[in-house]
Chains A and B, each alone.
Chain A
Amino acid sequence: MSASSLAGEAKPTFAAAPWRERAEEALIPPLVALLVALICGDLLILSYGQSPAAVYRMLLEGTWGNAYGFGQVLYKATTLAFTGLAVSFGLRAGLFNIGGESQLAAGGFAAALMGLVLPVGTPLVLALLICMVAAGAAGGVVGAVPAYLKTRFGAHEVIVTIMLNFIVLALLNWFIAGHLHVPETLHTPEIHAGVLPRLADIDSRFHGSAANLALIVAVLVATAVWFYLFRTRGGYDLRAVGLQPQAAEYGGISVNRVWMRALTFSGAIAGMGGINYVLGYKHYYEDGFASGAGFLGIAVALVGRNHPFGVIIAAFFFATLSQGGLAIHAFVPKQMMDVLQGVVIIAVATAVPEVRRILRSARRRSDA
């Protein structure tokens, strides 16, 4: 670097960091975090008087080892992908959306309403589109409220999204219980249109698992989010606001407008996740279906490092832990997986920056 500055004409290059460097930086830190989490898991299992190897084998067999378990992982990963994408989208603009749960619930509810309103025999593609637009719009409205309160009055989005979780979930509960439920239950009647094919319909080995075509939709949404963030002007503006709001403002970007857009889209993405349960699995809206998915979405976004494709991988990981908890229930309590999830999140939050720092300083030393 310093030697070339003595040379005359410098030829512009477009050299990204070598792929090996980038791969190392993307993969090694999370793997170290995973290793730390596994060691903690070992200790937990040992303290319970079981063999870690046996428990982990059972965990893998119960999730990726058979078609049903794998199908369940796919199903759980789908919802987590939507909420994880929603959280990461907000974080890219510097906003912390804690309202994934209520946005997801509102989206599921709107999808169910459309499924009930549309006549039997509506073509699947059309019904799916209508349900998704409705779900996105409902989630988007729930996301737009904190955005408006933030940009207009300066209310912090964390507080408002948390409070909206209570408000929206209570309103939905009241509406279902009061007006739309099947007697003796807390869910709506079954939808007439928009039922998504399950994986079991395509391959019978998946029989009984809830995995469905919403998975494909999740991957498409992740791709769309990637394109928006990294290839469009809106994404350029959004990331600029998230990184350095003062510089964005200087660059003529309206920070408030970006915030408004980011939280609304974030809510819409979470809302669209509602189709996985409503159109793909139960075919009705049920009170409480979204429970916990919003918060786990925060962990998914964190582990996935706010990159849409990282989020997909992280969603699979957390879905595996969650399904694995059921598989090992006979040997160790299912709560152990909850503990392990917590350990993973803490390990990622602490180990990843640390490992990356070590990697970089080692590289600098080898350069010198």
Chain B
Amino acid sequence: MSETPAIRMEGIEKSFGAVRANRGASLEVMPGEIHALVGENGAGKSTLMRMLGGLMKPDAGRVEVFGRDVTGWSTGEAISAGIGIVHQHFMLVPTLSVAENLVLGCEPKTRGVVLDYKRASDDVRKLSTETGLVIAPERLISDLSVGEAQRVEILKVLFRGARILVLDEPTAVLSPPEVRELWAVLRRLRDKGDTIVLITHRLDEVVEISSAITVMRAGQTVARVKTSETTPAEIARLMVGREVSLSAGKRVQPSGRTGSQPNQGLEVRNLSVMGSRGIRVIDDVSFSVKPGEILGIAGVEGNGQTELIEALAGLRSTSAGEILIDGNDITRRSVAKRHDAGLSHIPEDRLRRALILEYTVANNLILGVQKYFSRNGVMDRDRVKENAARAITSFDIRPPNALLAARALSGGNQQKVVVAREMGRGFSVLLASQPTRGVDVGAIEFIHQQLLNARAQGKAILLVSAELNEVLALSDRIAVMYRGKFATVLPSAEASEDVLGEYMIGTKKGSAA
């Protein structure tokens, strides 16, 4: 029986400037299945789904929904055809109630003008019991937990009659019980006949929930398989494009590490950071990173990793504790003073924090060290150029034009600019946050090599990554963050995906060393 697929996308092309996010990508999803769309960060999954949802138009290719050619349609058309996208970042009005958020744009009205609040609440409650997405309609969004907010997001698209649900990394922000609830809801929706596309890069989730899998790599669709006919190892190989080796060639012990060395690395004592809702997002964390050591931090996103790095970098204020670099207390110092004390920082948000996109590559290569490139307040343009030429050559930044705006570079080359800058100056402690996110495979290996070289030179490196294999491959010790604390700190020899996974989802709790 040849059924009409719910979604059929073929030969999809989409470029952003020099970056080709999709090159001939395809996707076929049958009605009533839970389909996992997997791939590394930057593989083009989200771009593909944006074109399905009408947020972007493909440069080439064909999109069909239930057999109808809908290529290049608008968001409005996509919604009325039953496509519902649940975004990774919630799009809810925090000052309105659950019911008000759900009816936004299609409010039931009495006498044509007044919002019929009771009917809205009743409608929401009805849908809520039907689907098992339990939530009180009168609660304010700002009072909800992350998991509850996500339930509202799913309810919102169902409320608008969605029959094809696309969930973009839905579990990145969820705790394990919340994840289990989400699976139950998705299964119920599937049994009702809805079609679900799950974007993820977590293999355990794929195996647990999906019935079919599409794997994307570097903008292309590399495989479409039945979940029952594959293994996590095979999916991993398809995602990365080669055998995943979890041990990059490191284990080069820095020579001559003695107690008399002036560098003492990074030391953090009893650090606490308050979040926006008055909860401790970092809760009394203590650790140290020695010179010549990489401490990796693993964990489900949203467990305090971002806040920890920002607090260490001086971009977020701390409520208690001390931060020391080479024995100097920098807890109260400005960002610039921390640079002077020997701190380097590769931030996770490349486009907003790490680069000034309108500035040239040369000017971006001095951000944070600009004071060393000026004389009496006037920029020394020769030295800026020299510095750029050196960085472009040694980090192989392409295209090798120092006067190009950073915006014009691909993600991988933008990241090389950041890495070249942060590792090209004198430092003793490096904070590397998601250093290879959205970066192509070649650049990933290059950046990893740079981190290992710095380690061999006796730098203390704190590595935060959502990619477990990255943490496993590079770190000497691995800490797992769970709800603002270190659930455990293990030597990497004792760590494996399974062991870390249990700490990450909180089923296993250890004593933080």
> Chain A: residues with CB nearer than 8 A to chain B?
1-2, 4-5, 9-16, 231-234, 236-237, 239-240, 243-244, 246-254
> Could you say which of A1, A12, A231, A243 contacts B388, with CB atoms under 8 Å apart?
A12
Contacts of B402 in A (CB 8 A): 12-14
Report the minimum CB–CB distance from B427 to chain A (whole Å). Answer: 13
The 6 closest A-B pairs by CB, nearest first: A252-B336, A10-B400, A233-B374, A12-B392, A251-B367, A12-B389
Cross-chain contact A1 with B352 (CB below 8 angstroms): no
Contact at A14–B385, with CB atoms within 8 Å? yes
Task: Point out the residues of chain B lying under 8 angstroms from A248, CB to CB.
Answer: 356
- Give every chain A residue within 8 A of B510 (Cβ-Cβ): none
A-B contact pairs, 6 of them (CB 8 A): A2-B18, A11-B400, A233-B373, A243-B359, A250-B313, A252-B368
Given contacts A14-B402, A240-B367, A252-B339, contact A247 B355 (CB under 8 A): yes
A108 to chain B, nearest CB (A): 30
Residues of A within 8 A of B403 (CB): 13-16
In the bound complex, CA of A243 to CA of B363 (Å): 13
A86–chain B nearest beta-carbon distance, Å: 21
Extra contacts, 18 of them, besides A4-B398, A14-B388, A231-B381 (Cβ < 8 A), are: A1-B399, A9-B393, A11-B400, A12-B402, A232-B374, A233-B378, A236-B374, A240-B367, A244-B355, A246-B349, A247-B352, A247-B354, A247-B367, A248-B356, A250-B335, A250-B347, A250-B367, A254-B334
Closest Cβ–Cβ distance, residue A279 to chain B (whole Å): 30
Q: Which residue of A lies closest to B400 (CB)?
A: A10
Main secondary structure of the interface of B (DSSP, over half): mixed
Closest residue of B by beta carbon distance from A237: B370
- Evaluate contact between B352 and A234: CB separation under 8 angstroms: no
For A236, the chain B residues whose CB sits under 8 A away are: 363, 370, 374, 379
Q: Given A1-B18, A10-B400, A233-B371, is A250 in contact with B315 using a C-beta cutoff of 8 Å? A: yes
Q: Confirm or deny: B358 has a beta carbon within 8 angstroms of a beta carbon on chain A.
A: yes
On chain B, the residues within 8 Å of A16 by CB distance are: 403
Q: Which residue of A lies closest to B390 (CB)?
A: A12
Cβ of A9: which chain B residues have Cβ within 8 Å of it? 393
Nearest-CB distance from B100 to chain A (Å)? 28
Number of A-B contacts (CB under 8 A): 104
Flag whether B396 is at the interface (Cβ < 8 A). Answer: yes
Contact partners of A237 in chain B: CB under 8 A: 370
Q: Which residues of B contact A1 (CB under 8 A)?
A: 18, 398-399
Q: How many angstroms from the CA of A15 to the CA of B403 in the assembled complex?
A: 6
Q: How far is the CA of A11 from the CA of B402 in the complex (A)?
A: 11
Q: Are A10 and B398 in contact (CB under 8 A)?
A: yes
| B345 at interface by CB-CB < 8 Å | yes
**Which chain A residue has the least Cβ–Cβ distance from B310?**
A250
Which residues of B lie under 8 Å from residue A243 when comparing CB positions?
356-359
Q: How long is the Cα–Cα vector from A348 to B513 in the complex, in angstroms? A: 62
Q: Check if B231 is an interface residue, CB within 8 A of chain A.
A: no
Query: Is B377 part of the binding interface, using a Cβ–Cβ cutoff of 8 Å?
Result: yes
Choice from B356, B378, B379 contacting A244 with Cβ under 8 Å: B356
How far apart are A6's CB and chain B's nearest CB, in angstroms?
A: 10
Task: Tell whether, in the assembled complex, residue A233 and residue B353 are in contact, meaning their CB atoms are under 8 Å apart.
Answer: no
**A94 CB, min distance to chain B CBs, angstroms:** 12
Closest CB in chain A relative to B488 CB, distance in Å: 30
Contact of B377 among A234, A240, A251, A252 (CB under 8 A): A234
- A249 to B374, Cβ gap below 8 A? no
Cα A362 to Cα B18 in complex, Å, equals 15
Could you tell me the distance in whole angstroms from the C-beta of A357 to the nearest C-beta in chain B?
Answer: 13
**Least distance between B294 CB and chain A CB atoms (Å):** 22
A262 to chain B, nearest CB (A): 16
Within the complex, the shortest CB–CB distance from A353 to chain B, in Å, comes to 15
A253 and B366 alpha carbons, distance in the complex (Å): 12
Interchain CB contact under 8 A, A10 and B396 = yes
Which residues on the A side are within 8 Å of B388 (C-beta)? 12, 14
Distance A47 CA – B397 CA, assembled complex (angstroms): 59
A231 to B377, CA, bound (A): 9
Q: Which residue of A lies closest to B442 (CB)?
A: A5
Whether B336 contacts A250 by the Cβ 8 Å rule is: no
Bound-state CA distance A119–B335 (Å) is 51
A252 to chain B, nearest CB (A): 3
Q: Are B18 and A233 in contact (CB under 8 A)?
A: no
Is B401 positioned at the interface, with any CB of A under 8 Å from its CB?
yes
Residues of A within 8 A of B377 (CB): 232-234
Cα A132 to Cα B368 with chains together (Å):
35
Most B CB contacts (10 A, CB to CB) among A5, A252, A253 go to: A252
The docked-state distance in angstroms from the alpha carbon of A247 to that of B355 is 6
A10 proximity list for chain B (CB < 8 A)? 392-393, 396-400
Contact B374 A12 (CB under 8 A): no
Cross-interface CB contact of B400 among A2, A13, A246, cutoff 8 Å: A13
Please, what's the 1-or-0 string for B6-43, where 1 marks a CB less than 8 Å from any CB in chain A? 00000000000010000000000000000000000000
List of A residues within 8 angstroms of B18 by Cβ: 1-2
Bound CA span A15–B408, Å: 14
- A233 CB contacts on chain B under 8 angstroms: 370-371, 373-374, 377-379
Q: With the chains together, A4 CA to B419 CA distance in Å? A: 22
**Cβ of A327 to closest chain B Cβ, rounded Å:** 41
Q: Contacts of B349 on A, CB cut-off 8 Å?
A: 246
Are A13 and B315 in contact, CB atoms less than 8 angstroms apart? Answer: no
Task: Verify B335–A249 contact, CB threshold 8 A.
Answer: yes
Which chain A residue lies CB-closest to B18? Answer: A1
- Measured CB to CB, the closest approach of chain A to B345, in angstroms, equals 7
Contacts of B400 in A (CB 8 A): 10-13
Instruction: Given A232-B379, A243-B356, answer yes or no on A251-B368 (Cβ-Cβ < 8 Å).
Output: yes
B residues in contact with A249, CB < 8 Å: 315, 335
A253 to B378, CA, bound (A): 16
Residues in B326-366 with C-beta less than 8 Å from chain A: 334-336, 338-339, 345, 347, 349, 352-359, 362-363
- B336, B339, B353: the one contacting A246 at CB < 8 Å is B353
**From B357, B370, B393, contact of A12 by CB (8 A):** B393
CA of A347 to CA of B298, assembled, Å: 53
- How many Å lie between the Cα of A60 and that of B302 in the bound state? 65
Known: A251-B370, A252-B368. A244 touches B357 (CB 8 A): yes
A361 to chain B, nearest CB (A): 11
Query: B356, A240: Cβ atoms under 8 Å?
Result: yes
**Known: A12-B388, A247-B355. Contact between A5 and B398, CB under 8 A?**
yes
CA distance in complex: A251, B385 (Å): 19
Given contacts A15-B401, A231-B379, A234-B377, contact A250 B345 (CB under 8 A): yes
Across the interface, which residues of A come within 8 angstroms of B393, CB to CB?
9-12
Q: In the complex, A347→B300 CA distance in Å?
A: 50
Q: Which of B353, B359, B363, B378 contacts A232 (CB 8 A)?
A: B378
A13, B401: Cβ atoms closer than 8 Å = yes
Q: Which residues of B are found within 8 Å of A252, using beta-carbon distances? A: 334-336, 338-339, 368
How distant is A338 from chain B, measured CB to nearest CB, in Å? 34
Q: How far is B349's CA from A247's CA once the two chains are assembled, in angstroms? A: 9
Interface residues of B in 51-87 (CB under 8 A from A): none
Residue of B whose beta carbon sits closest to that of A245: B352
